[in-house]
Chains A and B, each alone.
Chain A
Amino acid sequence: MPSHPNVIDPAFTGEVQRESEQNLALCYQCGNCTAGCPVSFAYDYTVNQIMRLVQAGRKREALSSHAIWLCASCETCTTRCPNDIDVARVMDALRHMARREDMVSEKAVGAFWKSFLDSVEKHGRVYELGLMAAYAGRTGRMFTDVDLAPMALRKGKLGLKAHDIEKIAEIRGIFDRYREQQQ
């Protein structure tokens, strides 16, 4: 997606604020979140830059960033923020918005999350083998973790059959009604 770096959407800051229930104005750009972020090396923007993009109303850059999808939700930023901002929650909110606006940049991560939730919808629990197959199919990454399969199978760590829950209809009802609410 082409980015328009100078397009500013002043309403964006407020939207993130509402969705995350965090006051973005509290951030004074000290960089503690970046300093402690374990995945920062793989980001396109550092965490404090993401916060700055939100403060500056740069919606497109924030939502189409790779960083928000690579965040491991480890909560280090939230724990150490000197202004008590729940930064991880802001990252969550940005992911939700990116998905709604169809701006997910890390397709693989998006696909993995999707496969995971499909598995939950289908079985009520995560069926690890099915999940891997679905993910591989969706991304074309046929050999993902295939190196681990023999060991995982030998150790019985990759169940060959799904453990469907009894009242699977309840789970499907949850997903159905959730989708209705989203419309």
Chain B
Amino acid sequence: MSPRYAYYPGCSGLGSSLEYDTSTRAMCESLGVELVDIPDWNCCGSTPAHAVDHLLSACLAGRNLEIADGMAEERKLDGIITPCPSCLKNLKTTQRSLSDPEFRRKVEQVLGKPLRAGLPIKSVLQVVVEDLGVEALGRLVKTPLAGMRVVPYYGCIMVRPPRLMRFDDPENPMALDNLLRELGAEVLPFALKTDCCGAALGTVRKDVVARLSGRILDAAVEAGADAIVTACPLCQMNLDMRRPQINRANRSRHNLPVFYYSQLAGLASGQGEAATMMDKLCVSPRLLLNSLAQHTGERA
């Protein structure tokens, strides 16, 4: 029986990371993973909520968990998955803090409903790598990303804190490395794969993002990469949309594109540039995609 999950897209999936959401859905479909959108889901609260108050954060995340609980039995759900690490961390933190009965009582009071929050919560990446195995993705590859030199960038919280996330090695995760290699890309070692990009400070402290994201771009170029591959909407936005700000602040001219891994998975399995929404990327991947096509053509 094919796996079936409650799907939590996260707010950015409706706007700034539409291409991540769309390509993730396409990838899941081709892998036979059935996604059931959590009906009428709301924002998990993201960084602002947990920075302001744990209770509010837990209540916002908790409403989504409660809705998923409600349909878990009828729809035979294997768990809740989300593509966004920030949403993931909030949902998982909430689930963990509910083990304190006093806190749970408060949350249920605010929600006005009892809460079970028993379903396992994972990232889409974790399901693909751990449950299905990257080979499953490999079997779908029609046009391998041969010749494409990439560095995988996991961001801070895909694997951290390890006691909460329970996924991969917190200091040297390999999930994306292995996945991208399976797609045929040349994956370069990348020491900054879990360094912070500046996260949610982009709007208020551009200097922080310019410096941190700038370091990541510098290191990717030094490693000899053609592109950075991410699994986090906030990282992608900082490295991609904020590129002019970063380049201006650091007097750099970095122009390497920043993909979502799910876009590359779609591309390698023959979904085409339109379906994987390559046009949504702010730093154009045009040159790279052209040379990839040429490479593929030559081999054919």
Q: A residues touching B (Cβ–Cβ < 8 Å)?
A: 38-39, 41-42, 70, 72-76, 78-79, 86, 88, 92, 95-96, 99, 106, 108-109, 111-114, 116-117, 120, 124-126, 128, 132, 135, 144-145, 147-148, 151-152, 155-159, 163, 165-167, 170-171, 173-175, 177-178, 181-182
Q: B residues touching A (Cβ–Cβ < 8 Å)?
A: 11-12, 14-16, 18, 40-43, 45-56, 59-60, 63, 106, 109-112, 156-157, 160-162, 170-171, 195-196, 198-205, 207-208, 211-212, 237, 241-242, 244-245, 279-282
A144 surroundings in chain B (CB, below 8 A): 203-204
A99 to B152, CA, bound (A): 37
Query: What are 11 A-B pairs at a CB distance below 8 A?
Result: A39-B208, A42-B205, A76-B160, A79-B161, A79-B162, A106-B204, A120-B43, A125-B11, A148-B242, A165-B41, A178-B59
A144 to B206, CA, bound (A): 9
Contact of B203 among A106, A132, A177 (CB under 8 A): A132
A124 to B63, CA, bound (A): 11
Q: Is the interface of B mostly helix, strand, loop or mixed?
A: helix
Contact of B48 among A74, A112, A182 (CB under 8 A): A112
Nearest-Cβ distance from residue A10 to partner chain B, whole angstroms? 25
Q: Is the CB of B60 within 8 A of A174?
A: yes
What residue of chain B has the Cβ atom nearest to residue A175's Cβ?
B56
A170 to B265, CA, bound (A): 38
What residue of chain B has the Cβ atom nearest to residue A69's Cβ?
B51
Q: Is the CB of A109 within 8 A of B55?
A: no
A78 surroundings in chain B (CB, below 8 A): 160-161
Q: Is the CB of A155 within 8 A of B282?
A: yes
A74 to B160, CA, bound (A): 8
B112 surroundings in chain A (CB, below 8 A): 173, 177
With known contacts A152-B241, A155-B280, A165-B42, A178–B208 Cβ distance under 8 A: no
Q: Is the CB of A73 within 8 A of B161?
A: no
What residue of chain B has the Cβ atom nearest to residue A180's Cβ?
B110
A74 surroundings in chain B (CB, below 8 A): 156-157, 160, 196, 199
B211 surroundings in chain A (CB, below 8 A): 41
Q: Is the CB of B15 within 8 A of A159?
A: yes
B244 surroundings in chain A (CB, below 8 A): 147-148, 151
A171 to B160, CA, bound (A): 29
A38 surroundings in chain B (CB, below 8 A): 195-196, 198, 212
Nearest-Cβ distance from residue A122 to partner chain B, whole angstroms? 11
A113 to B171, CA, bound (A): 29
Q: What 8 A-B pairs have minimum CB-CB distances, sorted nearest first? A: A74-B156, A113-B48, A74-B196, A38-B196, A75-B160, A126-B11, A116-B48, A72-B199
What residue of chain B has the Cβ atom nearest to residue A171's Cβ?
B42
Contact of A73 among B51, B110, B162, B245 (CB under 8 A): B51
A152 to B16, CA, bound (A): 8
A157 to B280, CA, bound (A): 8
Nearest-Cβ distance from residue A169 to partner chain B, whole angstroms? 11
A88 to B203, CA, bound (A): 21
Nearest-Cβ distance from residue A127 to partner chain B, whole angstroms? 8
Q: Is the CB of A117 within 8 A of B49?
A: yes
9 further interface pairs, Cβ-Cβ under 8 Å (given A73-B156, A152-B16):
A39-B198, A70-B201, A72-B200, A74-B157, A113-B47, A124-B40, A144-B204, A156-B280, A181-B110
With known contacts A72-B201, A79-B162, A174-B60, A113–B14 Cβ distance under 8 A: no
B110 surroundings in chain A (CB, below 8 A): 174, 177-178, 181
Q: Is the CB of B156 within 8 A of A96?
A: no
A155 surroundings in chain B (CB, below 8 A): 241, 279-282
